[in-house]
Structure 1
Amino acid sequence: MEHLINDRVKNIQISGIRTFFNMVSQYEDVLSLTIGQPDFLTPDSVKTAAKQAIDQNKTSYTHNAGILELRQAASQFVRTNYNQQYDPETEVIVTIGASQAIDIAMRTILEEGSEVILPGPVYPGYEPLIRLAGAIPVHVDTTNTGFRLTADLINQHITEKTRCIILPYPSNPTGVTLSKTELEDIATLLHDKDIFVLSDEIYSELVFDGKHESIATIPSMRDKTIVVNGVSKSHSMTGWRIGLLFAPAYISKHMLKVHQYNVSCASSISQIAALEALTTAKDESILMKQEYEKRRNYVYERLVAMGFEVEKPSGAFYLFPSIQKFHKSSFDFALSLVKDAGVALVPGNAFSTLGEGYVRLSYAYSMDTLTEALNRLEHHLNKN
């Protein structure tokens, strides 16, 4: 009876990141730099808060939008760190990870045939959610603009069907981000247009050069912008599955309906852990960021010394070097690297067809692992 399965579901694919990760797991002695999983432990005080919550039987449903204390802490956190202003009672929703936040946002604002502009190469989690909502992803080639989705590029792709623009910065897979000037240019373009912006800021705490800027802080854009954030990357809490969704009340009240019927609420225990992360443990991300910056500098310098063309990332924990000069597809290059050198990187075409000719390297690994992996990579290149 498979012919009865929803065609939209049948036509989407498992993430190329996971597909390649699972494929290389069959090989022995492979150093995998594929997954964006922080190698730090969740802060001790966060774990303690969760254990205490279990012992105190805080295991029931919460408010659909999340416990008010967490929404208040989240509102304060983004106000202090990014100058974003959101009412915790009406403009903040606690979700099951950033992925669910993106999903309910897309299902709230998109209709059949709507178009969504997003940069390419880009994290592969957006396109399936756009298509499941009946909308059409419009990938914009950013390989000639340092992987930045500029106002000029956006303007070239706007049509009467454009409903949303996705700004995923700092970026997965490239690590680049947008400056305040670049965001202001986009705001100027959109000020008289009925187009939403989804600003995915999950890596906002991991910006090395300057500070994170959000388009939501530009007055003309606040009522058009949905901000996605969370504690997965900033506090090494990927498995706790807590995302944060910020939007004007007139949007949030509708997203909350989708969220309610989708999951009821996020895990009560994880919410209490996230509350601890955004209050007592709010500065834990600073120590992680400092270590990631050291790793970024080391890996970037090694790749440049090997002759790679690569954009120096401003945030997150990825580099996206070009492998075009090796005259192999991204998949073939990555597979030969696994087989011959015991190093796994993600083929660039996992991040849309515009990622072909690149590979993604995650430096969310220990310095020892990165050093050995880069030594193997260098030996592989010298041998070939």
Structure 2
Amino acid sequence: MQVHCTCTHPPMRFAPSSSFSKFIGFSKHFHTLIAPSSPKLSPFVLAATMSTDTLPTQNHTTATTTQRPLQVAKRLEKFKTTIFTQMSSLAIKHGAINLGQGFPNFDGPDFVKEAAIQAIRDGKNQYARGHGIPDLNLAIAERFKKDSGLVVDPEKEVTVTCGCTEAIAATILGLINPGDEVIVFAPFYDSYEATLSMAGANIKCITLRPPEFAVPIEELKSAVSKNTRAIMINTPHNPTGKMFTREELDSIASLCIENDVLVFSDEVYDKLAFDMEHISPTSLPGMFERTVTMNSLGKTFSLTGWKIGWAIAPPHLTWGVRQAHSFLTFANSTPMQWATAEALRAPESYYVELKRDYMEKRAILVEGLESVGFKVFPSRGTYFVVVDHTPFGLENDVAFCEYLIKEVGVVAIPVSAFCLDPEDGKNLVRFTFCKDEGTLKAAVKRMKEKLRK
């Protein structure tokens, strides 16, 4: 089943150069930069160069080596190595400071790690209950009440998943049928498109544009049809740092109620809301019954490798989520679930300190990028900031990121990798500030010394 994508913005008018054309589409970004001469940097290049048919004959005296083409289902053939894997590999190859992929270079809090160690020592190491250990489900419900004011049933309305990425996958695969329309806001987190492809969905794309990345409400209204099943929202928004305003969310809610549309709300950065209040769409009147709210431990507690996430939804939607979850991962790391329950019961002072720390990191990076000469757009949430790279004269975001890595020694992510139409992101790149102060200052110093307009 293939995905049929319909974008509501005008057709492309940009004629890409020959060097850029090979990068068009998410799947090809930087694929050619991971050179066959260094196969260990890319599992796809490695697979292509390995013998996949070295089979002994019956007398075991000779072997035949044949290179076979890579095989993948048509619904996934456009999605090669993710842009984050590729950028991290290039960072290693060129000794660049990685301000691309959004993982902290510092560790999570000791009290959470100690809780995991204690759980292991206490023998909590076998399969957990499929939808989560009871204590974690309860802790999620308690935290959700503090954040949104909503009371949810931890047993019937909370499902623990393998990170928010699996929550997204279980939600889409459990609730979307082939042919259903799903509206996404571009630029968007890369797993949305791939998972919608696996579900056989028809994607409609609404582009958020700088400087404010505001939702074009009239365009959204025109995009909703009788076939629209769901709208995907990410607030605070990766990659732009935008936060959906109450006015925008009220308009979306009205559209959904009027047209019987679901909302899938990715809120992994909810504790990194800097300049305005985070509003969960499910908390708006009439929205809980039609919303799946997804979140995780990793961003808030700097433990991205633990991959503990969750989905909160009313029972009639939770059923579909759990059906898919049962056949994706079934259950998740038991000791890490116990530790996550401990984390979610952290005092409010933890969240205050977290926010203050990230606002200081944001200031270092934003001020540094502005001093280098970038046009920097507001980052009101997440730990990302998007800039316009065009003052430096490169033809597009991919060319700029390649130059930045090879010649300057700093990694950023091309925003076109988050768009159905690469034209929509070709002037923008994303930096992350989830790094220690020294790393951020070192990256700014390199750019000041080596980046030329």
Give TM-score scaled by structure 1 length. Answer: 0.94
Partners in 1 of 2:358 and 2:228 — Cα distance?
Answer: 37
Partners in 2 of 1:199 and 1:180 — Cα distance?
Answer: 14
Q: 1:70-219 maps to which residues of 2 (within 5 A)? A: 70-144=136-210, 146-219=212-285
Aligned to 1:224: 290
Q: Cα gap change, 1:286/1:170 in structure 2, threshold over 3 Å: closer, same or farther?
A: same
1:175–1:315 contact (8 Å) kept in structure 2: yes
Aligned to 2:415: 348
Equivalent residue for 2:353, pick from 274, 287, 302: 287
Identity %: 29
1:115 is displaced (CA, Å) by: 1.8
Aligned to 1:20: 87
* 1:360 maps to 2:430: yes
Partners in 2 of 1:138 and 1:120 — Cα distance?
Answer: 10
Letter paired with 2:362: R
Equivalent residue for 1:259, pick from 322, 325, 346: 325
Kindly provide the CA deviation profile for residues 253-278 of structure 1, in whole angstroms up to 9, marking residues without a partner as x: 22112111222211111100101101
Q: 1:4-43 maps to which residues of 2 (within 5 A)? A: 5-28=72-95, 30-43=96-109
Q: Cα gap change, 1:224/1:150 in structure 2, threshold over 3 Å: closer, same or farther?
A: farther
Tell me, what secondary structure is at the counterpart of 2:418? coil
Q: Cα gap change, 1:13/1:115 in structure 2, threshold over 3 Å: closer, same or farther?
A: farther
Tell me, what secondary structure is at the counterpart of 2:298? coil
In structure 1, runs of 5+ residues without a counterpart are none
Tell me, what secondary structure is at the counterpart of 1:112? coil
In structure 2, runs of 5+ residues without a counterpart are 1-67
RMSD: 1.9
Letter paired with 2:149: N
1:340 is displaced (CA, Å) by: 1.6
Partners in 1 of 2:250 and 2:309 — Cα distance?
Answer: 26
Partners in 2 of 1:8 and 1:257 — Cα distance?
Answer: 22
Give TM-score scaled by structure 2 length. Answer: 0.80
Letter paired with 1:64: G
1:184 is displaced (CA, Å) by: 1.1
Letter paired with 1:129: T
1:336 is displaced (CA, Å) by: 1.1
Aligned to 1:315: 381
Tell me, what secondary structure is at the counterpart of 2:89? helix
1:110 is displaced (CA, Å) by: 1.0
Aligned length: 382
Tell me, what secondary structure is at the counterpart of 2:382? coil
1:94 is displaced (CA, Å) by: 0.5
Partners in 2 of 1:156 and 1:220 — Cα distance?
Answer: 22
Partners in 2 of 1:65 and 1:192 — Cα distance?
Answer: 32
Aligned to 2:445: 375
1:118 is displaced (CA, Å) by: 1.0
In terms of Rg, which structure is larger?
A: 2
Letter paired with 2:217: A
Partners in 2 of 1:62 and 1:199 — Cα distance?
Answer: 26
